Amino acid sequence: MHDVPILTALAIILFGALAGGRLAVACRIPRVTGYLLVGLFCGPSFTGLVGLPPLLTTEALHGLNLLYDLALALILLNIGGLFKLEHLRRWGNRITLFSFSEIGLTFALVSGSTFLLNLFLVQKTVGEMDLFQTSLAFALFLGIISIATAPAATLMVIREYEAEGPVTGTVLTLVGFNNLVSALGFAVIAHFLIRPEETLGLLLLHMAGPIVLGAVLGFGLSIWGQRLELPSEHKILLIGGVASTVGLCRVLHLDPMLASMALGISLANASPRWHLLTQSLRQVDYILYVAFFVLAGAHLHIETLSHIGVLGVAYVVARTAGKWLGALAGARMGRFGQRERDFVGIALLAQAGMAIGLAGTLARSWPEGGKLLETVILGSVVVFELIGPLAVRHGLVRAGEVPILSLLQKRTPQGAMEGLHSVVQHFRSSLGIPAGHRLRDPGDILVRHLMRQNVETIRNDTPFNELLHLISHSRYYRFPVVDRSENFVGMIDYTEIRNLLFEPTLVALVVAEDLATSALATVAPDMPLREALQTMQKHRDISFFPVVDPDEPKRLLGILSQNDALSAFRRLNA
C-alpha cells in the first residue's frame, strides 16, 4: 500500500498536465507554463497558503525525485549535444565574445547591486564575517548563480513551437555556456570563501570529476552505439547511459548536472550516430519532461516571494538587465545580426534547476548565510520560471523562427461536443457505416504559415574560402545569397561548391555571387499549400525553396522546406 501515494501522484501529474497544457493553449501561452502552474497549484506550497490539503504531498514528491533527476539529466544531455565542435568552429571566437559579454554583465550587475545594497541598506552580517566580507560573499554567490539559465524550459518551448534558426541555435548554445560557467564558478567561489581548508586537488576533483566521468561514459556509449541498429535500442542506450551517469555521480558525490552535460558533449562529438540517437530519444522523452515540469512547479516555494526582500528584488531586476544588455553588447562584439541583438537576451531569462541546486548546496555548506541566499534564489526562481517560458516564446516568435502554423495549431482543435461527435463518427466507421466527408482541406493553408522567416543567408561578396567554411559547418546544402541591401541575388547549391574544389586556381578569384544561380523555383507567401506541393513535385531534387514577394522579387521573405510542408500536410490531413 505504500506505493499508492506515488501512483496517485503520477496520475495527478499526467492528467493535470493534460488539463494544464490545454488551458495554456487556450490562453496562448507555452504548455510549459501550464505544466508549471498545475504543479504549483497541486503542490504543498500553494495549498498550504490557501489552507487546502495538497494533491501532491511532500512525501510523494520525495518519492518521485528520481524521475525528476532523470528528466533533468536528459535535458542537460540534449543541451550538451549542442556543443558540437564543428558548430563552435563555425562561430569561432564570435560566440565566445557573445557568451563572455552576457555572462560578465549579468554577474557584474547582480553582484554589484547586491554588494552595495547589503553594505549600505540591509547591513546583514553572518558568523565571524564583518559587513564588508558578508556583502562580498553575498555578491559573489548571487552573481555566479544568476548566470545559470534553465535548460529545460528553454528547450521545451523551442520544441513545442518548432523553432529553428540562428537565434534559436545561439540561445541553446549560450544556455550551455551559462550553466557550465555557473557550476564551475560556484565551485571556485565556495572553495575560497566557505571551504578554504580543502586542498586544491579536491577543488579540481569537484570541477573536473563530473566532466571526465561524463566524457568517458559518452565515449564508451558512442562505441557501443555503433553496434546498434534499431531505434528502440538507441532509446535504451541513451536512457541507460543517463541513469548510469546520475547513479555514479551520487556514489562519487559529483555534480550529476555537469556530468550529464559532459555526456552529451562527448556523445555529440564522438558518435557518428548522434543524430539518430537523439531522433529515437525524442519519441519517448516528452512524457518525462512533462512530469519534470509539473514536479518543478510543485517544488516552487511561493511563500518565499514575501521573504526575498530588497536583495531579491535587486537580484530579479539586475539579472534581467544583465541578460538583456549583455546579450545586446555580446551580439555587437561578435558581429551577430540584428535579430540576435534584439531577441537572444530575453530568451535567456528562465531559471530553475541549476540555480535551485546551487542554492541548496550553498545552504548545506554555509548555513549561516546560505539559508538567506537560498530564500532569495527560491523566491526569484518563482518569478523567472513563470515568466521565462513566455519570454522564450516571445523572443523566438519575434525573431521569425517559429512558423505561424505552429502558433495557430496551439488552439484546442475540438470542443467537448465536437469531440463527442468525432468519437461517434469513428465508432460508426468501425461498424462499417460511412462517417461522412472531411470538412477541412489542408491544401488551403498558406506558405506564410509554414515558412521560416529568419534564415541563414550569405553575402554576395563572401570569399570562396570563407563560404566553404560556412557551408561545411551547416546542415543545409542550399543557401540564399543577398547583397549589402539584403536584396535576394540567388541560391548557392553545394554541388557548385563541390565542382570548384577541383579547380584550385580559381578559388582566390571567386566570391559567393559568382556561384549564385537564379532560383529555379520560388514560392509566394500567399500561395496555398497545394500549389507549393505541386511546385515541389516538379523539382524533386530541391528541398529548400525561397519565399519572395511577387511584387518585389528581390525581397527574400523566408525559406520553405519540403519537410515542413509535407509534415504540416500530414498533420492537418490527419
In this prediction, residue 498 carries a pLDDT of 61
Q: Could you give the C-alpha distances from 378 to 304, 308, 367, in angstroms and in order? A: 7, 8, 16
Beta pairing class for 488-493 and 478-482: antiparallel
Q: What is the pLDDT of residues 471-525, one digit of tens each?
A: 665 656 677 888 877 788 888 776 656 655 555 666 666 777 777 777 667 888 8
* Alpha-carbon gap, residue 396 to 158, rounded angstroms: 8
Q: How many CA atoms lie within 13 A of 499 on its CB side?
A: 7
Q: Which residues contact 520 (CB under 8 A, 6 or more apart)?
A: 539, 542
How many other CB atoms are there within 10 angstroms of residue 533's CB atom?
Answer: 15
In this prediction, residue 251 carries a pLDDT of 92
Q: What is the pLDDT of residues 160-181, one digit of tens each?
A: 888 888 898 899 889 989 988 9
Sign of the alpha-carbon torsion through 58, 64, 67, 69: positive
Residue 43, burial from CB neighbour count under 10 angstroms (0-12, 13-18, 19+): buried
Residue 317 banded pLDDT, cuts 50, 70, 90: very high
**427 vs 228, higher pLDDT:** 228
Residue 323 confidence (pLDDT) above 90: yes
Residue 262 banded pLDDT, cuts 50, 70, 90: very high
Q: What is the pLDDT of residues 398-422, one digit of tens each?
A: 888 887 766 655 444 455 555 555 6
Q: For a pLDDT cut of 90, what percent of the chain falls above it?
A: 25
**463 vs 218, higher pLDDT:** 218
Q: CA 250, 255, 258: angle at the middle one, nearest 5?
A: 135
Query: What's the pTM value of the predicted model, to 2 decimals?
Result: 0.76
* Alpha-carbon gap, residue 151 to 388, rounded angstroms: 11
Q: Which residues pair with 560 in a beta bridge?
A: 545
Residue 281 confidence (pLDDT) above 60: yes
- Mean pLDDT comparison of 24-33, 133-142, 444-453, highest-scoring range: 133-142
Q: Mind listing the domains of the chain with CATH numbers?
A: 35-406 (1.20.1530.20), 444-573 (3.10.580.10)
Q: Quickly list DSSP for 501-525.
A: TT-GGGGGG-BHHHH-B--S--B-T
* Alpha-carbon gap, residue 12 to 6, rounded angstroms: 10
Residue 307 confidence (pLDDT) above 80: no
* Alpha-carbon gap, residue 353 to 73, rounded angstroms: 10
Residue 230 banded pLDDT, cuts 50, 70, 90: confident
* Average pLDDT of the residues in 91-100: 87
In this prediction, residue 570 carries a pLDDT of 65
Q: Which residues pair with 248 in a beta bridge?
A: none
| Residue 177 identity (one-letter amino acid) | F
* Average pLDDT of the residues in 13-20: 92
Residue 434 confidence (pLDDT) above 70: no
> What's CA 239's distance to the chain center, in Å?
19
| Residue with grid cell 528547450, as numbered in its chain | 155
Q: 406-417 b/e with 16+ CB inside 10 Å = b?
A: beebbeeeeeee
* Alpha-carbon gap, residue 325 to 457, rounded angstroms: 26
* Average pLDDT of the residues in 285-308: 83
Residue 435 banded pLDDT, cuts 50, 70, 90: very low
**Mean pLDDT computed over every residue of the chain:** 83
Residue 438 banded pLDDT, cuts 50, 70, 90: very low
* Average pLDDT of the residues in 258-287: 88
Residue 339 banded pLDDT, cuts 50, 70, 90: confident
* Alpha-carbon gap, residue 136 to 410, rounded angstroms: 47
Q: Which residues contact 329 (CB under 8 A, 6 or more apart)?
A: 101, 105
| Residue 53 identity (one-letter amino acid) | P
| Residue with grid cell 558525490, as numbered in its chain | 253
* Residues comprising the chain, all counted: 574
Q: What is the pLDDT of residues 25-34, one digit of tens each?
A: 888 888 888 9
